[in-house]
Structure 1
């Protein structure tokens, strides 16, 4: 198993402060244990023994983790009690490679600790551990306790109890009710040997050798076999992350819709990057589901095709230009206008003051031509160095691609990184004061975030206003498995301000010209049912066209096994009213282990 990325290692170093374990191997049994694992785990999320020393805790080793900063092993009591709320397993943190094997009968003395992956500020739940252990191996080759089966019947449909208002919404102190709530059910198995069987993959294998499965294949299923996230109040309870205690090379390269056939078995862990995770000693065989990348249809002569595509920190050093070009030409059928998000400057993450992106764009356009596509032109506004967030030094921004054989761009001087574009009326029509331009760039809503890019296009004599967006990310939000339920979405505060600013600008256009065609699109970083989208839509100024799709197809991104909407195209009333538009979420990336971006592009076709 390879080391985690530096970010993930940093998140785990809190655990590494504990001293390495000492191991004593005896040929005669140790004396009777004074505390059982179930006593340590207790019936809530926090151990009643937290911070205390325990002596001669007995168990059978069910799994050994020899990689990363969180090295150690799991033990389980082979004689469980009849209390479903108390787990019979626990993780023993050693900090160095453990000197035990699966099947060893051991006793462990050490300090009970509640380790919060990501730190207490993350709001995550705590993982109960025994730290600074002294381990005595009593015997080897023992039968491992039979795994608890996790399936559609055993996982409750209700997700979590409401947090205790007296504890700021925390569920830590609440008695577990594993037959009523999914999070309580998983917590009641923390550290125990568990098993899933014939599970469908709902989150593709990632670079950290992780994937997501569901034990509830019918739960909000997407057309491709994923699990659609469609509401804050109806969580998908069947999702479970899978890691492996084996070699990374043996981990399957799985796509959404594939199946892990047979059984996948191992201890149930809890981590910062996925919550409850089955860390497998045994992993099921991969059965491919036949997922193929989608291709949208070609726009007709009188249709304008407008797309949005987050190309994930594209800079001239990347090896994905040919693949992105092929996606734009073949899968997207060469849209007339493409809003690109995450175009980096000419030297990518190198932080030397460079902000121009002409080399990045020239390389992409040349690759598109080589792939058989049109000779696109492009427009953008270079940001102020280090002012727009994203990868430090990368200076990401939105860029318009357009096919001059099909559409023209109205160039109007005056747009730069700090000047706000305005709207004027000329001969009864709305017109931008600068094109391309930036919307209200001095507004604090855009602090350390991308500023919206707006441009004026003409298609078959009709003007279309296009606003390219890349809203503030969800970084800093509490996870769905946080100790606080419901979790706090702190990042949406800034997105709400951003949505307010964009809606106000669209309203200004429509107040000037009631029937103006306005397309607002990009990586909105929020769901179609979110407050952010509601603010963007306003009092009917815009409408998110992804809602024209069946619920099973509403997604552009997959996160922790949830297929969800982040990328959107919103349209003004003149476009929606005609009912002569067509929307397509073109699934070419998010569900695949060999993705070239983590986002799926979106395409809108309509007749201006």
Structure 2
């Protein structure tokens, strides 16, 4: 489209070095700084940072396309006449701070300060949202047609995700000219603030209590058989993913319930926003209808008489303050979906009063309620072993003192108790009658090592099944908190949390090698919430030297996932086996992560083998 008003020359490329890094912009201005005669595309510019950031603009015209009266209050408006440049958006957010006094279809004139707002704050690494702040708004007329939406589809979103960031700018892409025909993130950025739509799209991230879900506009992009989109490498970010969030408050319009594999049918239309929880978001003024595709929770097969079944399950901060319904649902999953494994390693078992911070570290009541619920669900009377942590030393929810726990079915497997294990005493490996044995069982692995600072220490235990010793190590590695998101202004993003997990993996790998040095064919199972992918440096460190094999890699690539994050189905929970375990059956049992109604955000994993 041709513009009837000449484009204003860029006033300044960047106001400060902070702006160049994508940080929060907002300069003190005076009347002399006011820039007149500009249009929305002049403000948006051809990079991620507005050429007018920090400047006052006056009487910018457009039609209101969306109003948000909650959260970050404000409205979007759009110039119906574009400049014909695909790199410049014709839409813009106006931050009002209070409920906006405008309606969709109002033609408005807006004056105010152009700012670059970073959702989540400068330290988040997020890209910034160009907006007008401290606005003065004049409604010129009402009832005008909303500018026609841009359709986001498989044909419009490029296959490459993002350009490499500028090394001279710390890897930031902020100053790079947008290439919307080449990169998905550039394409979405070129539409920031514009009225967009998606047609019928498959749900790849379930709906949440925050009135949002994730869809993909690329149905053929790394799909799995249950409808998700698999994140299989750092360079397979899945460009078709887009978050959809309702503009209407929940009190006005309930948000639909959707599971992975369902389809958001009809038309979903509204401004393209950017937020801290996933980046580019279609703020739906008009929301389609969810078509239920009948996704069912999986059930793994029962272990055969000669098979040992070992499972890992993150039960998401379980403690006695949780409703009985949570205990019952988790228990039913153990019995009905996991077929009552012989050994279950639990992560995120909290102490007996949950998040209350009063020095309590024991978790006997938590475990009694859980094991009682399993019996009530028709399962075995599990016994348990664990080591209580030191107060406030293992991370997690403050006051919760989360730890790993072994449940085991004494009718099928026995636990070899070797006393003395506590929060600070390390277990070791010795030779007994020619076999590897633990000095402490249960015991913690190298709890004083700096790798475990403010993190859960691995729990090792010695089990016997049909006369054969199996050493099991339960883990909950450091979280990904602090990592930059896939939509970071740095490309590739900074994964700072990986440093600690890499150290943790090396400690566990060394311990397993100590076991194998004593007994080359020892059966060792390392499992838990590893908080990292099967292709990560963490997993490579765990498997270094052939000490372990990541069992999830025995599955087809499309079935490798235990968690769904921002529309990506990915691996966080793992079971790894020593070389002595030559043959096994592995199952990632999908019962939580793909569903809006979930009792935990993780899917459990089960390994069956003959020791």
The answer as to 2:293 corresponding to 1:293 is: no
Q: State the match for 2:84 in structure 1.
A: 82
Q: State the match for 2:151 in structure 1.
A: 149
The answer as to 2:267 corresponding to 1:266 is: no
Q: State the match for 2:177 in structure 1.
A: 175
1:35-73 deviation line (CA, Å, top 9, x unaligned): 1000000000000000000000000000000011x1000
Aligned residues of 2:412 and 2:465 also touching (Cα < 8 A): yes
1:77-134 deviation line (CA, Å, top 9, x unaligned): 0011110000000000000000000000000000000000111111110000000000
TM-score (norm. length: structure 1):
0.94
Q: State the match for 2:14 in structure 1.
A: none
The answer as to 2:532 corresponding to 1:530 is: no
> Any stretches of 5+ residues in structure 2 without a counterpart?
1-22, 29-34
Q: State the match for 1:72 in structure 2.
A: 74
Aligned residues of 1:33 and 1:58 also touching (Cα < 8 A): no
Aligned residues of 1:18 and 1:131 also touching (Cα < 8 A): no
SS of the residue corresponding to residue 270 of structure 1 reads: strand
1:480-528 deviation line (CA, Å, top 9, x unaligned): 0000000010000000000000000000000000000000000000000
Aligned residues of 2:480 and 2:497 also touching (Cα < 8 A): yes
Question: Which residues in structure 2 correspond to 1:459-498 (within 5 Å)?
Answer: 459-498=465-504
CA distance in 2 between counterparts of 1:448 and 1:506 reads 23
CA distance in 1 between counterparts of 2:359 and 2:187 reads 52
Q: State the match for 2:319 in structure 1.
A: 315
> Any stretches of 5+ residues in structure 1 without a counterpart?
1-13, 20-31
Q: State the match for 1:419 in structure 2.
A: 425
Question: Which residues in structure 2 correspond to 1:5-16 (within 5 Å)?
Answer: none
Question: Which residues in structure 2 correspond to 1:108-119 (within 5 Å)?
Answer: 108-119=110-121
Q: State the match for 1:25 in structure 2.
A: none
SS of the residue corresponding to residue 202 of structure 1 reads: strand
How far is the alpha carbon of 1:207 from its aligned partner? 1.9
How far is the alpha carbon of 1:427 from its aligned partner? 1.1
Q: State the match for 2:604 in structure 1.
A: 601
Aligned residues of 1:65 and 1:71 also touching (Cα < 8 A): yes
Aligned residues: 579
CA distance in 2 between counterparts of 1:87 and 1:223 reads 37
The answer as to 2:61 corresponding to 1:58 is: yes
Question: Which residues in structure 2 correspond to 1:374-389 (within 5 Å)?
Answer: 374-389=380-395
Aligned residues of 2:70 and 2:249 also touching (Cα < 8 A): no
Say which of 95, 105, 128 aligns to 2:97. 95
CA distance in 2 between counterparts of 1:479 and 1:233 reads 13
How far is the alpha carbon of 1:234 from its aligned partner? 2.1
SS of the residue corresponding to residue 594 of structure 2 reads: coil
SS of the residue corresponding to residue 266 of structure 2 reads: strand
How far is the alpha carbon of 1:209 from its aligned partner? 1.2
CA distance in 1 between counterparts of 2:561 and 2:259 reads 16
Aligned residues of 1:310 and 1:599 also touching (Cα < 8 A): yes
How far is the alpha carbon of 1:594 from its aligned partner? 0.5
CA distance in 1 between counterparts of 2:482 and 2:371 reads 35
How far is the alpha carbon of 1:312 from its aligned partner? 0.1
Q: State the match for 1:230 in structure 2.
A: 232
Say which of 333, 337, 346 aligns to 1:331. 337
Q: State the match for 2:592 in structure 1.
A: 589
CA distance in 2 between counterparts of 1:33 and 1:168 reads 34
Say which of 369, 376, 388 aligns to 1:370. 376
1:426-471 deviation line (CA, Å, top 9, x unaligned): 1111110000000000000000000000000000000000000000
SS of the residue corresponding to residue 299 of structure 1 reads: coil
Q: CA RMSD for the aligned pairs?
A: 1.4
The answer as to 2:293 corresponding to 1:279 is: no
Say which of 42, 45, 56 aligns to 1:42. 45
Q: State the match for 1:135 in structure 2.
A: 137
CA distance in 2 between counterparts of 1:165 and 1:286 reads 44
- After superposition, the Cα gap between the structure-2 partners of 1:18 and 1:358, relative to the gap in structure 1 and judged at 3 Å, is farther
Aligned residues of 1:336 and 1:407 also touching (Cα < 8 A): yes
Aligned residues of 2:444 and 2:457 also touching (Cα < 8 A): yes
Aligned residues of 2:64 and 2:107 also touching (Cα < 8 A): yes
The answer as to 2:126 corresponding to 1:120 is: no
How far is the alpha carbon of 1:33 from its aligned partner? 6.6
CA distance in 2 between counterparts of 1:431 and 1:539 reads 21
SS of the residue corresponding to residue 546 of structure 2 reads: coil
Q: State the match for 2:347 in structure 1.
A: 341
Say which of 242, 245, 270 aligns to 2:244. 242
Aligned residues of 1:557 and 1:565 also touching (Cα < 8 A): yes
1:359-396 deviation line (CA, Å, top 9, x unaligned): 00000000000000000000000000000000000000
Q: State the match for 2:16 in structure 1.
A: none
TM-score (norm. length: structure 2):
0.94
